[in-house]
Amino acid sequence: MASSNGAPTAGKLWGGRFTGGQDPIMTQYNESIYFDRKFYSQDIRGSIAYARANTKTGILTSAEFAEIERGLQQIHQEWESGSFHIHPGVDEDIHTANERRLAEVIGKDIAGKLHTGRSRNDQVATDMRLWLREQIEQLERYLVDFLKVITARAEKEIEHVMPGYTHLQRAQPIRWSHWMLMYGSFFASDLQRLREVKARVNRSPLGAGALAGNPFNIDRDAVAEELGFESVLMNSMAAVADRDFVVETMQWGSMLMTHLSRWAEDLIIYSSGEFSFVRLADAYSTGSSIMPQKKNPDSLELLRGKAGRAFGQMAGLMMSVKGIPSTYNKDLQESVEPLLDHVKTVGDSLQIATGVISTLDILPENMHKSLTPDMLATDLAEYLVRKGVPFRETHHISGRVVALAEKEKKPMDQLSFAQLQGVDKRFDEDVLAVFDYQKSVEMRSAKGGTSRSAVMEQIEAVKKALAGEK
């Protein structure tokens, strides 16, 4: 029904109660069709499953169900081909648009029965969960591909030794593969968490109605099974009120992006001229508009920057939902747009990260040049430990050797045996064998260490995580 003071309301699903028009700005402010149309396929699948269930309750005849299914399949084809025409101001959301078009295709009498016992409240929650389940499966594939590259490179490049850092200061020698598997461990945990999130996403709210449940004894389990859900949400109020599955997905994405950001930061540093441990492929770099010599790691900087974007989306949604009362409130519409962008950002980021690590060149000679004998000071202390000297004492002795090398302005490995004995008589002539970087990494063979055997064990652990094993 048109009104002189606003937009018509008679064409809307809820228009019967209203006699006045709606402010046109309110109409635009309220509608979600221009972003939730992404759920067109899920909305149609849910409607077909719901209609099939309503044939068993007697709401629909078999012939009516066949017409509804035919009409919805035609609408799906229209969306797929890009020929579906949205009616601005009428099609508030994807559910309204599909139902309006169904009435045009098969007639209002049959189409009008589709919504019996159903609410847009359980409908939108169903659509979102179906869509998100599919997206999580895709994200899982992206993450698995990324981890496969990490483990393959770790295995292939296991010989190369580089400085390990704490406080961004050179600390102890490690294998390059050990560094990669530090992040491999983070990302393997992210994979495990994603699979856990998927299980909580994959629960059906359909049949919960507006909030109080379905009055026509619909078989919710059968509907859930048809749609591939693992279970149903047992409380109808919780089913329509819950956006924890969105928040949790975005919390997961924020953690993954945090790990990607740290990984990117390391590679940005390692690709700088001061380090030159790695060289990015041209495909993931850009140049300077004024300095011809520059090769900027923009791919990695964008990964680092988009971590803030992902976290902001998650934090913003949490603030939107933190104070709303039960059950459905329109605030929950604010869960859709950030989710759509968040999932795209995370998916794109994983693909970029995979491209970067797949094409990255390492410069082992520069890694080796950055190793210095003082990084073996702990090994020197451990040498005396093996001779029965308490570690606290050996730590002090090793520190005195470091100070002597600094005083003599020469590397520790160039100190003479006599000079070392001048610090402590318990040094024997075999002490000079301590100054060997390969020996140092091989000494750290306990589970989780940087020796070849320990690194290979870590590679196998990530491979097991990829296969879903604990």
Q: Give residue-wise pLDDT tens across range 37-54.
A: 999 999 999 999 999 999
User: Is the separation of the CB atoms in 101 and 84 below 8 Å?
Assistant: yes
Would you say residue 4 has pLDDT above 60? no
Q: In terms of Cα–Cα distance, which of 126, 115, 329, 118 is closest to 210?
A: 118
Q: What CATH number should be reported for the domain whose range is 120-196+237-369? A: 1.20.200.10
Mean pLDDT, residues 194-217 taken together: 97
Is a pLDDT exceeding 70 seen at residue 443? yes
Active-site option among 288, 326, 416, 453: 288
pLDDT over 90 (residue 254): yes
Q: For position 298, what pLDDT does the model report? A: 95
pTM for the whole structure: 0.92
Render pLDDT for 96-122 as a digit per residue (tens, 0 to 9).
999 999 999 999 999 999 999 999 999
CA angle 327, 222, 339 (to 5 degrees): 45
- What count of other Cβ atoms lies within 10 Å of the Cβ of residue 28? 12
Distance between CA atoms of residues 183 and 357, nearest Å: 12
**CATH no., domain 31-111:** 1.10.275.10
Check if 160 is active-site: no
For the domain made up of 373-451, give the CATH fold.
Ribonucleotide Reductase Protein R1; domain 1 (1.10.40)
Distance CA 386, CA 380 (A): 10
* Residue % of the chain over a pLDDT of 90: 90
Q: Which of 4, 81, 83, 167 is catalytic?
A: 167
Task: Give the single-character DSSP code of 168.
Answer: T
Sign of CA dihedral 32, 42, 348, 334: positive
Q: What is the pLDDT of residues 143-189, one digit of tens each?
A: 999 999 999 999 999 999 999 999 999 999 999 999 999 999 999 99
pLDDT at 7 over 70: no
% residues pLDDT > 70 (the chain)? 95
pLDDT score recorded for residue 389: 94
Q: Does pLDDT of 5 surpass 50?
A: no
CATH 1.10.40.30 domain span(s) along the chain: 373-451
For residues 455 and 180, is the Cβ–Cβ distance under 8 A?
Answer: no
Task: Give the Cα separation of 149 and 210 in Å (integer).
Answer: 47
Instruction: Please check the confidence at residue 8 and state whether its pLDDT lies above 70.
Output: no
Residue 6 in this model has a pLDDT that exceeds 60: no
- The amino acid occupying position 125 is A
Q: Where in the chain is the domain with CATH 1.20.200.10?
A: 120-196+237-369
CB–CB of 219/277 below 8 Å?
A: no
Residue 288 appears among annotated catalytic residues: yes
Nearest CA among 110, 98, 16 for reference residue 59: 110
Mean pLDDT over 435-455 rounds to 97
pLDDT greater than 60 at residue 35: yes
pLDDT at residue 17, rounded to an integer = 56
Which residues of the chain form CATH 1.10.275.10? 31-111
> 231-241 pLDDT, tens per residue?
999 999 999 99
Res 1 pLDDT > 80: no
Mean pLDDT of the chain: 94
Question: Do 263 and 306 meet the contact criterion of CB atoms below 8 Å apart?
Answer: no
CA–CA separation, 349 vs 347, rounded Å?
Answer: 5
Q: Which three-class secondary structure state does DSSP give residue 172?
A: strand
Distance CA 426, CA 194 (A): 54
pLDDT band at residue 2 under the 50/70/90 scheme: very low
pLDDT at 342: 98
Q: Residue 295: its pLDDT value, please?
A: 85
**CA angle at 351 for the pair 345 and 356, rounded to the nearest 5°:** 120
pLDDT for res 290: 74
pLDDT in tens, 315-373: 999 999 999 999 999 999 999 999 999 999 999 999 999 999 999 999 999 999 999 99
H or E segment to which residue 231 belongs: strand 231-232
